[in-house]
Amino acid sequence: MASIELPIQILEQVLASGLELATVITPTGEIISRIFGSSEFALSDLRSATSIDALVSQTVSPNNLRLEEVSTTELRELLKSLETAVGYVRTALMRTSVEV
């Protein structure tokens, strides 16, 4: 039996060196992140999912805004990005209803 002691930073670099994170938003608003190994296959145990509304809610919670010292300008930028995203969804809905 043997043991090897390594600094955690070295272990983190070795583990992360061949990994890639991919994040997608599903049509239902779920944000899913998966970690892929060097063989480009998803590592099934390394997956995270949350809804877009839950993520935004956490981002703009009073406690988070205070901790992150978020400015009004940053919140306006976030709102503009979300409104742009809503526009994309509206356009997709219009295209879908026309196609049906």
19: CB partners within 8 A, 6+ apart = 35, 36, 37, 38, 43
Q: What percent of the chain has pLDDT over 70?
A: 77
Domain residue extents for the chain: 8-51, 60-100
pLDDT of residue 56: 93
Cα–Cα distance for residue pair 8/12, rounded to 1 Å: 6
pLDDT tens readout for residues 71-82: 999 999 999 999
